[in-house]
Structures are given as structure tokens and as C-alpha cells.
A and B are shown apart, each in its own frame.
Chain A
């Protein structure tokens, strides 16, 4: 065990983990986060707190993580390199650890042109792989990015990274995953999977290179709420492939929400049987309340207990 992360403990014990996602609000009231954290804590092993998702200003992921902790949940704070340079990122890492965060997901972040401040100056001082390496060096070498030694406690984070099996160039995706693992990623959360065939291919390549033995791969799923949402994801979200079959299933459904849940549950059951998949990450954007239902129907409830 490298860290005190509950997520790491469960994964290292071989449990098929479940994580969920909470989007912090566009205001300073934490009640929604607390409510969701209390609702989800028995159904997921850890909760991702997004970092100004889609480049829209929201309550910070670290602050949200504090509310999750207080509500009895295990936070995974997301950290993008879009808004902060290496000085701010390392400072936030120290601060987050001091507040009890034990998991961090290192991301490049959506481009600011998609958000509510498109005229902002982005930072991109470092990229996500460089951030992974910085978090690892802080932890394992007790060194800042500049090479200077930490004179006190080092932040011991369980380090996460993202992988998108649906982006291009496809053949390079697995190599990039390997690069992230070489940089220090302990666990990987993937982009939402709708195209199972492509994901299976991706996982075959992952196994061929033995990457599933070097990092825990947690597969992303997303319950669709409507046919319109499915079509939108298919047509307008970069780096996402939604097969026509799924969109038409949603279109034909009498109760699209129920159908979305059913598809998601099927996907989870399928993913559980893929060698090398260590868990699922449920991204129910603006629909966090549905996560307990999905977890139960997928046969993943109750969640294992750890001390």
C-alpha cells in the first residue's frame, strides 16, 4: 500500500470498485454536495469531484472534497492543468492532502472555449502526464517539481489519470496509457463507454502490454436520460463514440430514463467480465440520485467494508 486511500485498499484487496461523480455547484452553497455524498456513500467506494468541469466556474473540487469527507464519503479530487501553473497545482496538492484528500485524478481539462469564460487566458504550463509525475515525485521522492526537497510531510496521494479509448489516433491510446502509468498513475478512469467493441479491443491491447497489472483500470459509464442526450453525445462531444444502436434503443423506449438505466446496468455487467477491468466509474451528470439504483441493479450492493 502506497497511501492511506480507501480506494487503494479496496482495489489492492481485489474488490471490483464503484466510483461515482459529483459535479460541484455554480455557487457557494455546499448543501447539494453534502446531500449527494450522504446519498452515495453506501453505494460507491469513492466520489470524483470535478474541477470546473467544461471550463465553467464552480465550487472548487478540493473544497467539495472536504464536504464529501465530512459527509462520510471518500473523495477523489480532480485537478486540471488548464487553470493553474505548477506552483499553484503543487500548493493545492499540499493543501488538499492536509485537508484529508487521499486520491487525485490528473487531467488536462476541457478547453476554456467550451465554458462560461471563453476569453480567459488558459495556463497549460504543464500537461496531465507531467502533473502525474509531479504528484508521484512529491510522494515517492519527497521532491517538488523544481527538484527541491520537501522538508516536512509529503502528500501521499493515490494517483489517478484518465484514458479515452475512443479518441484518435486509436493505436496510440494504449501507448499513451502506458506513458501515464510510467509517469506514476496508480489508477485509471476511462471516458464513458458506449462502444463496447472498441473498448474490448482497447482492453485486449492493454492486457497484451500487461498494463492492467501495473494500474487499476476503472471503466467509465454514463446513464443516458433521453434520446436527445444520446444523440447529442454522439454528434457533439469530442472524443466520444456512441453507437447508433444505443441511440435508437433510447429513441424507441417508452420510458427513456428507465431504458438509460437498463443500458447502463447491462454495460456494467458486461464490463465486470472483461479481464483487467478493476471497477466502474458512474458519471451521472446532473443525475447523481440515480446512482444507488444502478449500483443495486448491477448487483454491486452492498459495497465491501474496509476498516
Chain B
């Protein structure tokens, strides 16, 4: 899922300084699971903003809604009845996709309340870690199911580099070296020969470059 974390309260407050009434919109998807933008966090943020503004003698009115998902037009449409003329700004507690979707749909000042971090997983309660860099062409079958694109600090495809020591990455002694993990795993699987093949340069055109990527499934399209 997408992992996000809250922006500092002061930063969010600063983005809506001029607003009298705002709509605070949570998301029931990924950001609920990673405890950053669900119904509970939406309520807390709204309350905190109201308190802050009251202290400053510039009271703020808030309306709170949490959509099932902000990355789906169906749900974003449901927000229409709350986006009344007197709403000065919308704060989105979704990932960046949700923020953009609200901004596209409604002619209002839409601001993000979260920093969208990465595609990750829950390691333990309260700890999330990045596991995929969304590179567009998965090579996990070459690396024993451990992603070097994102888990190696240098995205090396023919690792490990000379900084790998005691199983840790040279960049941070807390971070396991992805290539040590890959080596150990392939050794266990009896597939070390996979590592002897020289991997050619990656086709990054499948990745971030070239504008937004699109996946079209003709078989499920309605029109």
C-alpha cells in the first residue's frame, strides 16, 4: 500500500491561513491502514486546526468527511454536497493521488495534509518500510524476491557494492544491505548462478520518465 505521514501541523495551518471555513477530507484506503489519513486522523487534524486558530483569535470552521477512497471518481463525486460555496479550502488527508483528484474535480484551493512516502508494508505495528519503487518492469524473479531497485541505496542491479559489510548498507548501519539479503536468499534456494549473469542496464522508460504512465484494460472498460 501507499505509506504516508502527516505534515507538521504548523505547515498545514500555514497553508490555509486565509480560510474561514474548510472541508477536511480523509481517505479510507491505504492511509487509514498506515494511520495517517483515516477518519480518526481527520477528526484529530480538524480539531487541532480549530484550536490553533482559536488561540490566534481567528476562529476556523471545519467540516469533516472521510471517503472510502479518494483515488476513485465514484467516491470523489460523493463529496459534491459538502463542497458548498462557503468552503474556502479543502484539506486532503489522502496520498498525492487523492489530493490531485479532489483538485481536479472541485474548483477550490486543495492542500495536502500528508507527505506521501512510498509503496510499503507493515513491518510491525507502527513501522512501515518501502518495498517497491514502482519501476514498471519487475525483476524480482532475478533477485530472489528482494527488490534492489528500491532496497539497495544505489539501485545496483549487479551488487553488492564495496560498502556492504556485516550485512548492513554503507549508507546506514540500521539498513540491511539488499544485496546481502539477495545473496543469502539465492544461496538458500541453490540459485547463486543467477547472480553471475551480468544484468544489462535497466529500461527506465517503464519507470517515472515520460509523463504519467497509464494502464488500460480494454477487457474491463465500460465504454
Residues on A lying within 8 angstroms of B by beta carbon are: 82, 86, 108-111, 113-114, 122, 124-130, 133-134, 145, 162-164, 166-169, 172, 175-176, 178-179, 182-183, 191, 238-240
Contact = CB atoms under 8 A, between A and B. Distances in A.
B159 A175 contact: no
Given A108-B156, A124-B154, A172-B183, A133 B198 contact: yes
B62 interface: no
A182 B154 contact: no
B166 A168 contact: yes
9 contacts: A108-B154, A111-B171, A125-B201, A130-B158, A130-B198, A162-B162, A175-B192, A176-B158, A239-B164
B163 A238 contact: yes
Interface string B178-218: 00100110000000100110111110100000000000000
A169 B183 contact: yes
A124 B162 contact: no
A145 B196 CA distance: 21
B196 A108 contact: no
B170 A130 contact: no
A86 B201 contact: yes
B68 interface: no
Given A172-B160, A240-B165, 10 more contacts: A114-B171, A124-B154, A125-B202, A127-B158, A133-B198, A167-B160, A172-B183, A179-B158, A182-B198, A239-B162
Interface of B: 153-167, 170-171, 177, 180, 183-184, 192, 195-196, 198-202, 204
A274 B198 CA distance: 29
A86 B205 CA distance: 13
A238 B160 contact: no
A89 to B, nearest CB: 11
Given A108-B154, A122-B154, A168 B165 contact: yes
Contact of B163 (A125, A133, A167): A167
A127 to B, nearest CB: 4
A126 B165 CA distance: 22
Contacts of B200: 130, 133
A164 B195 CA distance: 17
B155 A124 contact: yes
Nearest to B186: A172
Contact of A167 (B165, B192, B201): B165
Nearest to A241: B165
A166 B162 CA distance: 8
A127 B196 contact: no
Q: Which 8 A-B residue pairings sit nearest by Cβ, starting from the closest? A: A164-B162, A238-B170, A129-B158, A238-B163, A127-B156, A124-B155, A239-B163, A126-B201
Contacts of B202: 125-126
Contact of B157 (A127, A164, A168, A182): A127
Nearest to B156: A127
A134 B157 CA distance: 15
Contacts of B161: 108, 128, 167, 239
A179 B166 contact: no
B166 A127 contact: no
A108 B152 CA distance: 12
Contacts of B155: 124, 127
Contact of B165 (A86, A124, A162, A239): A239
A168 B160 CA distance: 8
Given A124-B156, A126-B201, A169 B180 contact: yes
Contacts of A108: 154, 156, 161-162
A176 B160 CA distance: 8
